[in-house]
Structure 1
Amino acid sequence: MNDKVDGRGSWILAYRQHVLHIVTHAIINIVEKPWERVYIDGQPHEHGFKLGSEKHTTEVIVKKSGVIQLTSGVEGLALLKTTKSGFEGYIRDQNTALPETRERMLATEVTASWRYAYESLSSVPQKQQFFTDRYLDVKKDLVDTFYGPPKEGVYSPSVQNTLYLMAKSVLNRFPDISSIKLKMPNIHFLPVNLKNKDNQTIVKFADDVYLPTDEPHGSIQASLSRFWSKM
């Protein structure tokens, strides 16, 4: 399916020729669940595969006039940083109870969608596998911005800040992307510290044992677009 869409939208053209003579526009949604080759003892298995975690999504809105809206994205991209993450510098008032911290785990499951600037079938790139390659490049850029350099990483003062930098990086690097939406809910891993009212240090771990918890949690999301975007 991707090969046909990548080949200058030939699949979309075929759909338009067969269907759009009786409707004004069509919305096409495609979700790719990637299968990944299994490695046994460090060697790629000849015929073994496992289902990958994230999904590659695509939506195309095509009108009888030839005008299109093309959106791609990723769902279920799970990311984790074990250090160089905090939550600080946020607005505080008399009701704020959450203390600031410069050391915590940062875990999230990224849902991202980005809209391309192409507005007609004739403007869609003709290069084979263009959108598959672009999807992989955008996903890599999101991941690289989240983690930072492999040795020193990059400090994150908040999920909100990291989300903004990820979206900004995509717009800066790919001029054919006009807007991007990101959703990054917190997946909390809280440091374990067993204590009671009589002894505050019964078992005090040095930030090396964490308890996963679903509550409380927040869902952070934002949209960034170029000033000329019709998002």
Structure 2
Amino acid sequence: MPFVQQRYGKANVRVLRLHRQGDYHEVREVRVKVTLDGEFTRAYTQADNAPVVTTDSMKNLVQVLALEHLARANEPFSLAIAQCFLDRYAHVAKALVEIDETSWSRMQVDGQPHDHSFVKAEGGTPFAAVTVTRSSQDIVAGIRDFQIMKTTQSGFVGYVRDEYTTLPETTDRILATRLQAAWRFKSAQPTDYAAVTKAIRAALLQVFATTYSDSVQDSVYRMGEAALAAAPDIAEITLSMPNIHYLPISLSHFGLETQDQLFLPTDEPNGHIEATMRRG
């Protein structure tokens, strides 16, 4: 029986790094997934474990590398992990490292940022996904579950209407989504990954908040266009914007008019709009 392909690894390796400078502390918390490909076929077809790097060893290596590299951004930390497996094990041909970050913001106490107390940050989950082979590397970063809303300056008209269309047209609606943005870096690595992320996030929100949206598709394209203009270090960006619907609630049965003040949040079923924009 032909053996087509394999990959294996260790998922959900969680680690928090605490950096102390006297009473002033900084924290970084991540969840890491490592996936390896290479000369592992005989472990499956011949019950020979000789080439198998145990997933427990993968967990240990991630923790060791976290001591030195977790203070840096997710992208270089991912690269360090992936390169470590290629350097240590000659039969590993490709390493994929995925990182989700749990972001912590400094707690405000008496109007001042506290030295060593934190609250979980809002604004989505930063992530990185790095694939490294013997001859190439691919770096993708982004943010997922970034929930954003605008309560006006959005509409949807002029779409296909047939016997199955029940959706009314509107030029003023709530637009809300759980944004996922993933950007791929050019071959040259930037000097400041955090600055790239900050520039992209600002560009996305600027378009979303300050311009009229004729559709989610319209917003997706213009947000992606703005992100590419704001971050010269990226080659392309993919945006996914599923609808979170806010449906008007009627209280007419009780003789009350809501005057467009009450809405029912619902995200199932939802429209799912996704597009990739790339430099020309």
Tell me if both proteins adopt one fold, taking TM over 0.5 as the criterion.
Answer: yes
Runs of 4+ in 1 over 4 A off after TM superposition: 4-10
Q: Which secondary structure does the structure 1 equivalent of 2:207 belong to? A: helix
Q: Deviations over 1:101-122 (max 9, x none)?
A: 111111111111111121xxxx
- Structure 2 counterpart of 1:214, one-letter code: D
Q: Which secondary structure does the structure 2 equivalent of 1:185 belong to? A: coil
Matched, 1:99 2:161: no
Task: Using the TM superposition, give the Cα deviation of residue 84 of structure 1 relative to its aligned residue in structure 2, in angstroms.
Answer: 1.3
- Structure 2 counterpart of 1:60, one-letter code: V
1:22–1:56 Cα change, 3 Å: same
Matched, 1:42 2:99: no
1:84 maps to which of 138, 153, 161: 153
Which has the larger Rg?
A: 2
Specify the alignment match of 2:134 in structure 1: 64
- Mapped partners of 2:274, 2:76: distance in 1: 33
Q: Which secondary structure does the structure 2 equivalent of 1:113 belong to? A: strand
Give RMSD over aligned pairs: 2.5
Equivalent residues of 1:4, 1:11 under 8 A apart: no
- Mapped partners of 2:164, 2:76: distance in 1: 57
Q: Which secondary structure does the structure 2 equivalent of 1:15 belong to? A: helix
Specify the alignment match of 1:151 in structure 2: none
Taking only the aligned residue pairs, the percentage that are identical comes to 36
Specify the alignment match of 1:189 in structure 2: 246
- Mapped partners of 1:224, 1:100: distance in 2: 28
1:202 maps to which of 228, 246, 255: 255
- Structure 2 counterpart of 1:101, one-letter code: T
1:9–1:187 Cα change, 3 Å: closer
Q: Which secondary structure does the structure 2 equivalent of 1:141 belong to? A: helix
- Mapped partners of 2:84, 2:73: distance in 1: 11
1:110 maps to which of 179, 182, 185: 179
Question: Once structures 1 and 2 are overlaid, which stretch shifts more, 14-23 or 187-196?
Answer: 14-23
Question: Once structures 1 and 2 are overlaid, which stretch shifts more, 52-61 or 170-179?
Answer: 170-179
Q: Which secondary structure does the structure 1 equivalent of 2:223 belong to? A: helix
Task: Using the TM superposition, give the Cα deviation of residue 18 of structure 1 relative to its aligned residue in structure 2, in angstroms.
Answer: 3.0
Matched, 1:172 2:237: no
Matched, 1:124 2:124: no
Q: Which secondary structure does the structure 2 equivalent of 1:28 belong to? A: strand
1:42–1:20 Cα change, 3 Å: same
- Structure 2 counterpart of 1:146, one-letter code: F
Higher relative contact order, structure no. (Cα contacts within 8 Å, ≥ 6 residues apart): 1
- Structure 2 counterpart of 1:174, one-letter code: A
- Mapped partners of 2:220, 2:263: distance in 1: 24
2:272 maps to which of 219, 226, 229: 219
Specify the alignment match of 1:147 in structure 2: 209
- Structure 2 counterpart of 1:222, one-letter code: A
Stretches of structure 1 that go unaligned for 5 or more consecutive residues are: 149-153
Q: Deviations over 1:36-90 (max 9, x none)?
A: 112234332332211123111111111112x111100101111011111222232
Matched, 1:162 2:241: no
- Mapped partners of 1:7, 1:219: distance in 2: 32
Stretches of structure 2 that go unaligned for 5 or more consecutive residues are: 1-69
Task: Using the TM superposition, give the Cα deviation of residue 217 of structure 1 relative to its aligned residue in structure 2, in angstroms.
Answer: 2.3
Task: Using the TM superposition, give the Cα deviation of residue 144 of structure 1 relative to its aligned residue in structure 2, in angstroms.
Answer: 1.5
